[in-house]
Structure 1
Amino acid sequence: MNRLTNLIAATYTPLNAAGDLNLDQVEPMVEHLLESGITGLYVCGSTGEGMSLSTDDRREVAAAYVKAAAGRVPVIIQVGHNSLDEARQLSAHAQEIGADIISATCPSYFKVCTVEGLVDCMAEVASGAPDLPFYYYHIPTLTGSNIDMVDFLTQGAKQISNLAGLKYTAATLHEFQECLGLQDGRFDVVWGFDEMLLGALATGATAGIGSTYNIAAPLYRRLIEAFGSGYVIEARRLQALSINMIRTLNQYPFHPAMKAVLGMKGLDVGGCRLPQGRLSDADVESLRTKLTSIGFFEWSVSCLTTSDS
């Protein structure tokens, strides 16, 4: 299995003013991401509003991203659904269209409360695409499932033949580190909190999947470079810029704000579907002013690394 490396963008789903899919914008979005140094695409996850899209919409979005990527970087399709049957069908579709990896959240309306229950659920989902690696998407703040991931990987490997790893979106670095080392590093565990990337690198992460990589990949590339070269103070400075950016974005509904920033960068991806919606024109201009004041439009494009003093 080829492990994921560096920065995987959790991609946005382009919508038009009416909230319908605007798939003509997928190719420009992919080219923007590749030019900024992205090394993979994570499609229809939380960022891509997978849970707000119909199953047919999700199939169309997945196919558009696979086509636009054209084999240049791995494409991961998030197939999680409250209906395991729907999730399994989305897995099968991902395999049919040539995706590289499938990933899934667990059902979230009826909570998954045991390791055994989570393994059973994910086994059903993963069975739809037996030829593709499967990464469980651990995001307890949204799913409400706080299953121990060490136990899940240990038990899941016995039942899910294509279990490859995790998309780990939780702030528990100690558990993340334990998952990385489990069974002599058998599993590919990918970090999912952009504002804590430096901490994850320090505990052994080799890849991250995140939303803000869409708008500031050069910043994170420099952070990884600085840390890898031993310039820890510089890496901290770069992570602090990320934290300030995310703090600014969080003054608004986060994903509508992110889509607004992509619009500022010339990518027409629209707003979000309800319940998230879109920013008002006044909020867009307010956000632009705040991002300008912190230098975002300079350092999100180029953020040169300097040595520690």
Structure 2
Amino acid sequence: MAPVLTPYSNDGLFSVQLDRILPYAKYLSSTGIDAVLVNGTSGEGMSMTVNERKAVAEAWVTARKETNQIIMVQVGGACLKDVQELAAHAESLGSDALLCLPELFNKPQTVDELVRYLKYVAQAAPKTPLLYYHIPSYTGVNVNMPQFLATAACDIPTFAGAKYTHNNLEEATQCLEVKNGTLGFFLGCDHVLAGAFALGCDSAIATSLNMFPSPSIKILAAMRNNLPTEALQEQRKLSDAIRVITHNGSWVSTMKAAMSVMTPIDVGPPRPPLTPLSDEHTQELKKDLAALQLL
């Protein structure tokens, strides 16, 4: 599943460019990506208004009529009432699943606080599977995840799993065992795909799938075919590319630059306070990607 980037205008106004979403969806489909996460970290969902987030979700659901892609919508990162409104809206569109960040200011401190919060979100969309977005490097919320998953699965009727953006593979392995492994569990860390797949993970939501999906797809195929050496080779290619891309900026800023450089889809700059790559750094990126034979 690719966490899609939100296209903004290049005129300094950072307006959402909805007309770029259908070509974007078709491009991803042509590269073998049949599922997308909308309004996540890479999509800068937390930097958009509620109406913008709704419009972006609507555009991806409309594009699905031509691509048949699975749609997961990230609804968290706002006040609870807005999160509930976004959840209800995503359900009304027929989204396949919801993903939700924790409250980002009054942060949940315990498993019970986090489960209670997600209960309120789930009540707004009672027919749609709900997953939790665990990304402690951004949110600062780092509860015991196996315990959280077990509690949420018991207490929230629609709870379906998590996106786990962390490199703690010991904890990830424990998460895979919760509820006899029936919960959805998406790894969100591109750097450790091979290790996670070796330990039993079989799903990922990785930003690099937007612009160069081949290594990740090959890693999973190699592990399924019991070819760990091939998986490691592909992981090294992927990690080298990510190192080159993120060398001169933040994750979202550099990934947006890479998307515009490596594909026919122009996703524009990031929205402030994130800053776009300078022209100098963009040229350096092109040179380094060419050296890795990615251009």
Distance (whole Å) between structure 2 residues aligned to residue 111 and residue 256 of structure 1: 26
Q: What's 1:49 paired with?
A: 44
Q: What's 1:283 paired with?
A: 281
Distance (whole Å) between structure 1 residues aligned to residue 151 and residue 255 of structure 2: 37
Equivalent of residue 34 in structure 1, options 17, 29, 44: 29
The structural deviation recorded for 1:157 is 2.0
Q: Any conservation in 2 of the 1:37–1:218 contact (CA below 8 Å)?
A: no
More relative contact order in 1 or in 2 (CA 8 Å, sep 6+)? 1
Deviations 1:16-66 (A, max 9, x none): 112000011101111111111113100000000011111111000111111
Distance (whole Å) between structure 1 residues aligned to residue 39 and residue 193 of structure 2: 22
5+ residue gaps in structure 2? Answer: none
Q: What's 2:74 paired with?
A: 78
Distance (whole Å) between structure 2 residues aligned to residue 125 and residue 251 of structure 1: 37
Q: SS in structure 1 opposite 2:46?
A: helix
Q: 1:64 aligned to 2:59?
A: yes
Note the 1:146-185 alignment, pairs <5 A.
146-185=142-181
Distance (whole Å) between structure 1 residues aligned to residue 187 and residue 229 of structure 2: 21
Counterpart amino acid of residue 274 in structure 2 = Q
Pair 32,89 (structure 1): closer, same or farther in 2 beyond 3 Å: same
Equivalent of residue 251 in structure 1, options 247, 250, 262: 247
Counterpart amino acid of residue 272 in structure 2 = L
Bigger shift: residues 219-228 or 129-138: 219-228
Q: Normalising by the residue count of structure 2, what TM-score does the alignment of the two structures yield?
A: 0.95
Q: SS in structure 2 opposite 1:251?
A: helix
Distance (whole Å) between structure 2 residues aligned to residue 35 and residue 266 of structure 1: 12
Equivalent of residue 270 in structure 1, options 250, 263, 268: 268
5+ residue gaps in structure 1? Answer: 1-7, 298-309
Distance (whole Å) between structure 1 residues aligned to residue 78 and residue 57 of structure 2: 19
Counterpart amino acid of residue 5 in structure 2 = Y
The structural deviation recorded for 1:158 is 2.6
Deviations 1:153-182 (A, max 9, x none): 121123211000011111111111111111
Q: What's 1:21 paired with?
A: 16
Distance (whole Å) between structure 2 residues aligned to residue 291 and residue 257 of structure 1: 13
Equivalent of residue 193 in structure 2, options 193, 197, 210: 197
Q: What's 1:123 paired with?
A: 119
Q: SS in structure 2 opposite 1:296?
A: coil
Q: Any conservation in 2 of the 1:82–1:106 contact (CA below 8 Å)?
A: no
Q: What's 1:294 paired with?
A: 292
Q: What's 1:104 paired with?
A: 100
Q: SS in structure 2 opposite 1:136?
A: strand
Q: Any conservation in 1 of the 2:91–2:125 contact (CA below 8 Å)?
A: yes
Deviations 1:4-23 (A, max 9, x none): xxxx0000001111200001
| Identity between Structure 1 and Structure 2 (%) | 32
The structural deviation recorded for 1:227 is 1.9
Alignment RMSD: 1.2
Q: What's 2:87 paired with?
A: 91
Distance (whole Å) between structure 1 residues aligned to residue 194 and residue 266 of structure 2: 31
Bigger shift: residues 9-18 or 280-289: 280-289
The structural deviation recorded for 1:137 is 0.5
Counterpart amino acid of residue 272 in structure 1 = P
The structural deviation recorded for 1:267 is 0.9
Q: Normalising by the residue count of structure 1, what TM-score does the alignment of the two structures yield?
A: 0.91
Counterpart amino acid of residue 60 in structure 1 = A
Q: Any conservation in 1 of the 2:202–2:220 contact (CA below 8 Å)?
A: no
Note the 1:229-248 alignment, pairs <5 A.
229-248=225-244
Distance (whole Å) between structure 2 residues aligned to residue 227 and residue 56 of structure 1: 42
The structural deviation recorded for 1:257 is 1.8
The structural deviation recorded for 1:74 is 1.2
Q: SS in structure 1 opposite 2:160?
A: strand
Task: Kindly tell me the number of residue pairs found equivalent between the two proteins.
Answer: 290
Distance (whole Å) between structure 2 residues aligned to residue 154 and residue 258 of structure 1: 34
Q: Where does structure 1 differ by over 6 angstroms across 4 or more consecutive aligned residues?
A: none
